[in-house]
Structure 1
Amino acid sequence: MTFTFQNAPDAAFVPTLLISHARRLLAISLFCAFSISVFTQEQMPPTAADYGQWETLGRGSVLSPNGQWLAYPITRSNGENELRVANTITDVRTATSFGEDAAFSADSRWLGYAIGQSDDAPANLDTSENPGSAGMGLLDLNSLEVEIIESVATFAFSEDHAYLAVHRTPPLAETEQAGGDTDRPAEPIGSDLVVRSLNTKTDVQFANVSAFAWQDAGVLLAMTIAAEGRTGNGVQLFNPETGELRTLTSGNSLFTGLSWRSEEDDLVVLRSHSRTGSEGDTHNILTWRDLAATQTRALTYDSTADANFPKNFRIVDERQPSWSDDGTAVFFGIRQWETSPDTNGESTKDTDGTDEEKPADVDVWHSQDRRIIPMQKIQLQRDRERNLLAVWHLNEPSVVQLGIDLMEEISVLDGHTFAVAQDTTPYAFETMFGRRWMDIYVIDVKTGTRTKAVEKIRHFHGGSTTGRYLLYFKDDHFWTYELATAKHT
């Protein structure tokens, strides 16, 4: 019997097939052997330097007005932070060490940022010799060229994108330089303010500027002047387009709280005013309307000349004054005017000039204290600055006190018709142990009348953007409160 095989493989094909399979098996074997060898090697733990390179996206990312640039801070575990700037359309990238608080100009042409320091820098820095250690960077986003400006406290672009105001770091007060008594606040002295034209690269400099503020819709720049000995103190207005400089007011007082009315040319500022036998200053409220027009209207409120002003209260500068949307009211802060302690001119120093030894402090906690003593110490400065909200109606004119408790949280709703207060007083005991309950009151800005809107809640989410509704969480549900109808939904 004869057998025949159909389609038998060619004799030359068999060795080729075997060689191909052998090569594949060899390659796989070598790869596995290498992988096992690498895996079995001793793993080296990360070093401190490796951990220091761990990056986290920081806070304060800013998108340019045209949406084409993004500035975002990067924080590292070793403190070597940086600010990165990226184009959202192309692959253009740049970074700067210790950049922070970035701000774009309105035309997205320029980026300004503060330059911070590493964690090790303050230990080696003598601030008495170099108080202006911080600076700023000005980045041209067209060319990516950077200009570093030294000794900068703050900076701000004008709303029309054509100008940049750079406020220099103020000098140290004489008491700080001499190592004197720092318990008594030093007289504030202003520093140089440089206004740069970004188009022409020219600078205009002003001396003894304590604060400045650009107009929201325009190019006007308001400045408060604080000179040594109060010589030349006042409020000035500069127009960088025309070069015109106007003095709105001057005098032997401190001027604080510069505030423009949104999208308008109305300005408000506080002027200090002292009283013999009283601790701290009160303030007059100065307003100017239509500063961009030919005719400017000025109006002043003096609380000491108003018989209806709350007795033994003063206007404080811890709360910056603010305008209502329609310009008919100015909101500000008041606090009780304490009597100055009578020291009879006695000094707290010995005859040899050294400080007298003070008795040891003893902490005594009262059962009715709302906060434990460590928290009271931490929040001491904040408590000293607490004040009650009040409003001055310019057309009446009249002043209405809106706040009644220094510990309550109060804010004005959008539209400036109502204010809302969070009162935790009825639940002081629960608050001491972390169970913070509150009642919500709606306050009529015109009359100061209070209406309890919500009782005993833990979570309040504020008012709507129109000022018509309040949002709060109660009984496992979110609720709204309509101010016009007092309806809960």
Structure 2
Amino acid sequence: MWRGVILDFCRLAVYFFCFVSCLLTGQVKEKKILRAEDYPLWGTLSVDALSDKGGWVSFYMRYENGSDTLFVTDTSTRRRFVFPKAKNGQFNGEAVFACLDKEKNFKLIYLPNGKMQSFEGVSAYKFSGNQKYLLLERYDERKHKYLEIRKPTGEWVKTIERINQWELSPSGTSLLYATTDENMNSVVLLNLEDKPISTLITQSASFVFSALVWHEKALSIAWMSVAEGREPQIQIYNIGNREFFTLEPEKMIGFPKSMQVNSKLLRSLRIASEGRSIFFNLQMKDVQASPPPVQVWNSADTMLYPTREMTGGNDYVDRVAVWFPEKGMFLQLTNKEQSKLLLAGNGRFAVTNNPLEEEPQFRENAVRDFYITDLETNIKELLLKAQSGANGQLLASPDGKYIGYFRDGDWWTYNLFTKKHINLSSNLGVLCYDTATGEPFGNPGWEDKDSSMLVYDQYDIWKLDPDGKAIRLTNGRESGTVFRVVETTDEQSVKLYQNGYTAGRFDSNTGWVISSRHLVSGATAFYEYNQDKGIRLLDGGAFRVRQLVKAVAVNGYAYTTESYDCSPSLYYKKVGRAKSVPLFESNLQQKHFRWGSEKLISYDAPDGQHLQGILYYPAGYEPTKKYPLIVHIYQKQSHNYHQYHNPSTANNRGFNITDYTARGYFVLLADIVYEKGKVGMSAVECVSSAVKTALKEKAIDADRLGLIGHSFGGYETNYIITQTNLFATAVSGAGISDLVSSYLSYNTNNSMSNMWRLESFPYQMGGSLHEITNVYLESSPVLHAKDITTPLLSWSGEADNQVNAFQSIAFYNALRRLGKKHIMLLYPKEGHVLMNSGNRKDLSTKIREWFDYYLNNASAVDWMEPDFTPR
């Protein structure tokens, strides 16, 4: 008791001394004003990796000028090693760390004593899975690739000359490689145990070997064999019984004469079914090389002409085939009529569909019939009729028992062996999809052995038993908190092969990680979940927790925390310990500068729905002063609360929050929700409501309001200024101005017309142009340009494939004809966002000068004058 009293007295004494000292000396250091020349000091903290037992963590500080630095820190002692301009860091156990720099210099450091070795000219490297060997890929003076095998401490063991390709086994304890010299080509298997032992698998003087692949359990290996004047072959070797098989197309019954193995797709081979089958791609032998003299666009075409020209048409798209070496059997699985493939049941079942089945149709994801083929019997049956082809709405389970799919608002399973369909979510009492978009909230994966499927509702995580039992793992709905699963291992991630997805695998015994975000306060947190102990908090609070990385061998986690006025810091937390260990604080220089702050504001949409916005206060804020406000719009942005923003003048959209708060602006990010058929007016009403609430802050000058948006936000900006004179000026980037021409245009980014985008989310017109023509006309800013009184700056990339630059040009011509105050910036060779660093800086500068002129009484700049010609 007395010890506590004494400590409290000491603290009070220290505080009193500090207070009196400040009063007496008056030496409270004034913070500096943040200026553009200070911005290069800021970097971005990125967590890289944890050692297996969590003893060390690696992380980066990345800078806009490219002066990146890699750090390695002891999570107990905080001892640190620094590697300027390094990348590709890897731990080997707890004692060894390695990395490469941009000049291909390889660094190998022994962590206990800091001893370091360097090797020049290393293009790639890996450690063996048993941590006994280091593999360095290098090139000799004749530019021939070779592989050095060394001890993790650097001692040379073996050199493999003239190597073409090398692949470690899934466990990392065996090496498969192919070599080529003047006389002989070889495939070799090298055991990386106590002493590396080589096994020659095959040799050929004429065939070159490539596309090496392992079975996921290392039961077998396969590769492609290519020789001039011969059709490409596939070979497979069974490691257990040493059986060797070769697929020779010209001798294989059923192999299509017009096609050949596609030997250029080095990642297309997949060994499945315990090594008894191998999947690969076929390509047409003869493909039309020269363009036709005339383009023929037929309104009944299943593919738009540009898409057909780009892909070669469905006639020339690669097909997928399977070969059963032991049976000597070949099956072509996809064709013109069934061109897409999902493998299920660990390769026993092939699910195929035709994405062009309903064409011409005008949704983003066409519905189509899915068929399933049992490859052991070659029996094909209808699996699902008129099912959406959207990514993430039909996935194979990781252990091969089920197919999970989203249909008619619910999650279903199909048992591959009983052939039963079961609706898993119909009795949950909550929706598993977003009513605005119709899209499911998500399905992160399955528990081990396919015991249950994990799915989301708006707030919570559910565990759905394939036989119908449902368990809610979290209680987010009651508190307004969104819970989601966090992937921390490769096993937990979704896998893609060909066009089909296999869901991630989660182990309920060892557990997995869950994140949360409170919708009102914006607070975030991370939790660890396992079946026995339930959910345990790792860290969280009135800040943002991000970038969580888990140690492999212990329940230890590295992660960052941040808020708008607190630069990201790195922490390490071991489950069972009360406190996290602080390891690194980024951007320490911030404490010397004035900085803004943030708060959430609440307001209502026209339908009464409660919305939020983030209001950022200017650096050095004084309540008695008056400041301008810039409103940034898109759709919903309140989820960015507590996000730190490095100051920058080189943003790819020309706008940076901290750049503006540093120069005396309020910034508001406003959430917007939409009524179908009234998307533009919804933006007007939601933004007006947000601004009305923001203006309760008396320091905001209602006569100095600016508006800015890009892409869909650019469209919203264009429309808003046709309906209200609330804003003194506006900036629109890559925004649609004419919904009619946009609806009828072709989007090369997704090889589709824009019709689906305007009919559904986000534009939500609610029907086709010819069904509700008046809605498209009423929603087109260009047709209301005469009502604009707000000076507008617009910009676009001349090569924008997402929103054609014509949209900005059309608006410019309309405003020019009407004599409105408007300037358009058009950047040659740029797309939807700017990639050239010089152009980024130019755009950021011009937007800043524009706002300063209209909102901060700055003088006009030369580029704002008529007939200005850039020099």
Greater length-normalized contact order (CA 8 Å, ≥ 6 residues apart): 2
How far apart, in 1, do the equivalents of 2:279 and 2:68 lie? 40
Give the aligned partner of residue 460 of structure 1: 393
Where 2:165 maps in the other structure, the secondary structure is strand
Distance 1:476 1:290, change over 3 A: closer
Query: Is residue 373 of structure 2 the alignment partner of residue 443 of structure 1?
Result: yes
Q: Would you say the 8 A contact 1:271–1:284 is kept in 2?
A: yes
> Can you list the C-alpha shifts for 1:9-46, whole angstroms capped at 9, x where unaligned?
xxxxxxxxxxxxxxx9x9799699988x959xxx6342
Query: Is residue 99 of structure 2 the alignment partner of residue 113 of structure 1?
Result: yes
1:239 CA drift (Å) = 4.2
Give the aligned partner of residue 304 of structure 1: 250
How far apart, in 1, do the equivalents of 2:387 and 2:284 lie? 29
Query: Is residue 83 of structure 2 the alignment partner of residue 96 of structure 1?
Result: yes
Q: Would you say the 8 A contact 1:270–1:283 is kept in 2?
A: yes
Please give the TM-score of this superposition, normalised by the length of structure 2: 0.40
Letter aligned with residue 101 of structure 1: N
Give the aligned partner of residue 168 of structure 1: 138
2:272 aligned to which of 298, 301, 324: 324
Q: Would you say the 8 A contact 1:103–1:113 is kept in 2?
A: yes
Give the aligned partner of residue 389 of structure 1: 320
How far apart, in 2, do the equivalents of 1:480 and 1:73 lie? 42
Distance 1:307 1:47, change over 3 A: same
Give the aligned partner of residue 200 of structure 2: 246
Q: Would you say the 8 A contact 1:324–1:416 is kept in 2?
A: yes
Q: Bigger radius of gyration, 1 or 2?
A: 1
Percent identical among aligned pairs is 17
Distance 1:313 1:385, change over 3 A: closer
1:426 aligned to which of 357, 367, 371: 357
Letter aligned with residue 235 of structure 2: L
- Larger helix percent: 2
Query: Is residue 180 of structure 2 the alignment partner of residue 234 of structure 1?
Result: no
1:134 aligned to which of 99, 104, 117: 104
Q: How many residues align?
A: 396
| Contiguous gaps of at least 5 residues in structure 2 | 1-16, 424-871
Give the aligned partner of residue 39 of structure 2: 50
Q: Would you say the 8 A contact 1:86–1:93 is kept in 2?
A: yes
Letter aligned with residue 95 of structure 2: R
How far apart, in 2, do the equivalents of 1:409 and 1:52 lie? 49
For residues 31-430 of structure 1, the aligned pairs below 5 Å read 44-51=33-40, 53-57=42-46, 61-105=48-92, 107-116=93-102, 133-169=103-139, 190-198=144-152, 201-217=155-171, 219-227=173-181, 231-239=183-191, 241-244=195-198, 246=200, 248-264=202-218, 266-275=220-229, 282-290=231-239, 296-317=242-263, 318=265, 319-338=267-286, 368=301, 370=303, 373=306, 387-405=318-336, 408-413=339-344, 415-421=346-352, 423-430=354-361
Distance 1:29 1:272, change over 3 A: closer
1:405 CA drift (Å) = 4.6
Q: Would you say the 8 A contact 1:160–1:218 is kept in 2?
A: yes
Where 1:304 maps in the other structure, the secondary structure is helix
How far apart, in 2, do the equivalents of 1:90 and 1:384 lie? 63
Q: Would you say the 8 A contact 2:163–2:180 is kept in 1?
A: yes
Letter aligned with residue 313 of structure 1: M
How far apart, in 2, do the equivalents of 1:38 and 1:215 lie? 60
How far apart, in 2, do the equivalents of 1:199 and 1:38 lie? 51
1:476 CA drift (Å) = 3.3
How far apart, in 1, do the equivalents of 2:152 and 2:413 lie? 48
Give the aligned partner of residue 175 of structure 1: none
Letter aligned with residue 163 of structure 1: Y
1:439 CA drift (Å) = 4.7
Q: Would you say the 8 A contact 1:226–1:234 is kept in 2?
A: yes
Letter aligned with residue 33 of structure 2: M
How far apart, in 2, do the equivalents of 1:310 and 1:171 lie? 44
1:315 CA drift (Å) = 1.1
Q: Would you say the 8 A contact 2:127–2:152 is kept in 1?
A: no
Q: Would you say the 8 A contact 1:325–1:415 is kept in 2?
A: yes
Letter aligned with residue 477 of structure 1: D
1:430 CA drift (Å) = 4.4
Where 1:282 maps in the other structure, the secondary structure is coil
For residues 5-44 of structure 1, the aligned pairs below 5 Å read 44=33
How far apart, in 1, do the equivalents of 2:319 and 2:397 lie? 23
Letter aligned with residue 156 of structure 1: K
Aligned residues: CA RMSD: 4.2
Where 1:65 maps in the other structure, the secondary structure is coil
How far apart, in 1, do the equivalents of 2:315 and 2:146 lie? 30
1:467 CA drift (Å) = 2.0
How far apart, in 2, do the equivalents of 1:422 and 1:108 lie? 48
Give the aligned partner of residue 14 of structure 1: none
1:302 CA drift (Å) = 0.8
Please give the TM-score of this superposition, normalised by the length of structure 1: 0.68
Letter aligned with residue 113 of structure 1: C
1:396 CA drift (Å) = 1.3
